[in-house]
Amino acid sequence: MVEFKGLINTDSLVKTLGEDRVKLNEPLSRHTSLKIGGPAELFFETRDSGDLIKAVRLARSFGVPVTVIGGGSNVLVSDQGLRGLVVKNAGGEVKIRRMKFFGFHRDKVIPIEARWMGTEEGTQKYDFHDLNYDESSFPEIEVSIDSGVNLQVAMFKLFDEGITGLQWYARIPGTVGGAVYNNIHGGSHILSEIIKEVVVLDNHGGVKKIPAKNMEFGYDKSRIHETGEVILEVVLKLKKGEVEKAKGVAEEWRKRKASQPFNSAGCVFKNIPEEDASILGYPTTSTGYIIEHILNMTGYKVGGAMISPDHHNFIVNTGGATAKDFLAVMDEIQRRAKEAIGLELEDEIIRLGDFNY
């Protein structure tokens, strides 16, 4: 394991954040779903959005590089680790806006502690179109959620309040902030459909609200990929819908997505365009289909990184995998796809750190 010697002003930063809360040379493999990643020079876990703002502002004021992570899914951290301060954004609040209590309106605040929710149960079916239904006729309600809140915890807490709309994203790991950052999709639904605005910490330390139309949402992306702003909170347009129906959909969704393996970073490559699938005569746009049936790469492995036999667009850590192993498998898939079918597969995984080693 690489151990960092320290940047200028890290001692001052540690003292200001609290020596009891900052870890030195913390292995990031403990904080990613892939279980890969070298050490963070400094590691700080937040408890709420106030902590997040404080940590980022302080790091910048001391001239210390800062990286914010959430649940650690969809990322590949370098074996060399990360310099400066790594902030793990965890916990926060869910605020249900304009709930009526005793004849007047006020927000209802639900505190959420940092925790993980997951399951390994379920069927192997991986299709969701039959689960879709229309909620447009139900009353709309605005809900504000801090970026460090676990997406699955938020979904179930809102069900308890009679609020639906997040059921399409059942079993997608990570935080609400990560979901906004990547504009996650669940079947035919994308998160930006229900986003009203996003509250961010800009690069000058100011807090500002960005309307959804200015977030530059696209397939698995948002403007945050380019701007470096830090997501603090998102305001969602949800529904006072049929909770039991939504719970049933979420449960079935969860079961079907259980074919997605653990110890992975999620889908490695974006699905191919409909036009390309049609030209090639494939029954689906799924990159997993291509890797399994066209490239015949089931079981391909480098070191501890292997193409999952359960979902071929996932690369799993079978034990002791390094970031270098993971990238070697990715590179081979891309090389064979280019050679066999002339397509350049576009990867979805966010790389953190230096990979030139």
Task: Work out the angle between the directed axes of helices 151-160 and 243-256 (0-180°, nearest 10).
Answer: 150
84, 101: one domain:
no
One-letter-per-residue 3-state SS of 285-330: CCHHHHHHHHCCCCCCEECCEEECCCCCCCEEECCCCCHHHHHHHH
- Alpha helix positions (H), 105-196: 151-160, 176-181
Claim to verify: residue 123 and residue 210 sit in the same structural domain: yes
pLDDT attached to residue 357: 74
How many C-beta atoms surround the C-beta of residue 36 within 10 A? 26
Q: Is residue 149 part of a domain?
A: yes
Q: Final residue of a domain: which of 41, 60, 88?
A: 88
Is 188 a member of any domain?
A: yes
Of 208, 227, 259, which one is at a domain's C-terminal end? 259
Do residues 133 and 224 both lie within one domain? yes
Domain membership of residue 74 (yes or no) is yes
Q: Based on the domain organization, do 103 and 169 belong to the same domain? A: yes
Query: Does residue 315 form part of some domain?
Result: yes
Judge if 113 and 253 occupy the same domain: yes
Q: What is the pTM of this model?
A: 0.86
Structural domain ending residue among the three candidates 259, 291, 326: 259
Check residues 279 and 103 and name the one with the higher pLDDT: 279
pLDDT in tens, 66-121: 999 999 989 999 999 999 999 999 988 999 986 544 444 557 777 665 543 333 33
Name residue, tokens 């609400």: 176
CATH of the domain at 112: 3.30.465.10
Per the prediction, the chain carries an average pLDDT of: 88
Q: What is the CATH number of the domain that holds 311?
A: 3.90.78.10
Q: What percent of the chain has pLDDT over 70?
A: 88
Q: Is 90 exceeded by the pLDDT of residue 124?
A: no
Are 13 and 59 in contact by the 8 Å Cβ rule? The answer is yes
- Condensed to tens digits (0 to 9), the pLDDT of residues 147-168 reads 999 999 999 999 999 999 999 9
One domain, residues 148 and 80: no
pLDDT for res 125: 37
Report if residue 278 sits inside a domain. yes
Q: Are residues 72 and 97 in the same domain?
A: no
| CATH code of the domain in which 64 resides | 3.30.43.10
Give per-residue pLDDT as tens, 292-330: 999 999 999 999 999 999 889 999 999 999 999 999 999
Whether residue 217 is found in the same domain as residue 312:
no
**39 in the same domain as 22:** yes
Number of domains in the chain: 3
- The mean pLDDT value for 230-254 works out to 93
What phi, psi does 325 have (nearest 5°)? -60, -45
Examine residue 3 and state whether it is found in any structural domain, yes or no.
Answer: no
pLDDT class of 226 with cuts at 50, 70, 90: very high
pLDDT over 60 at 57, yes or no: yes
Say how many Å lie between the first and final Cα of the chain, rounded: 14
Percent pLDDT > 90 in the chain is 71
97 shares a domain with 83: no
**Model confidence at 122: pLDDT above 50:** no
Distances from the Cα of 10 to the Cα of 41, 60, 303, angstroms:
9, 11, 35
Domain span including residue 137? 92-259
Q: Residue 173's pLDDT is what?
A: 86
Q: Residue 47 burial (CB < 10 Å; 0-12/13-18/19+)?
A: middle
pLDDT at 224: 96
Q: Are 106 and 193 members of one domain?
A: yes
CA angle 1, 326, 175 (to 5 degrees): 85
Is pLDDT above 70 for 137? yes
- Does residue 116 share a domain with residue 81? no
Q: Considering the domain boundaries, does residue 5 fall inside one? A: no
Q: Please tell me the predicted confidence (pLDDT) of residue 100.
A: 47
* Domain contains 264: no
User: What stretches of the chain adopt beta strand conformation (E)?
Assistant: 22-27, 39-45, 66-69, 75-77, 82-88, 92-101, 104-112, 140-146, 185-186, 189-190, 195-201, 207-211, 230-239, 301-302, 305-307, 315-317, 350-352
Which residue's entry shows tokens 């699938």?
277
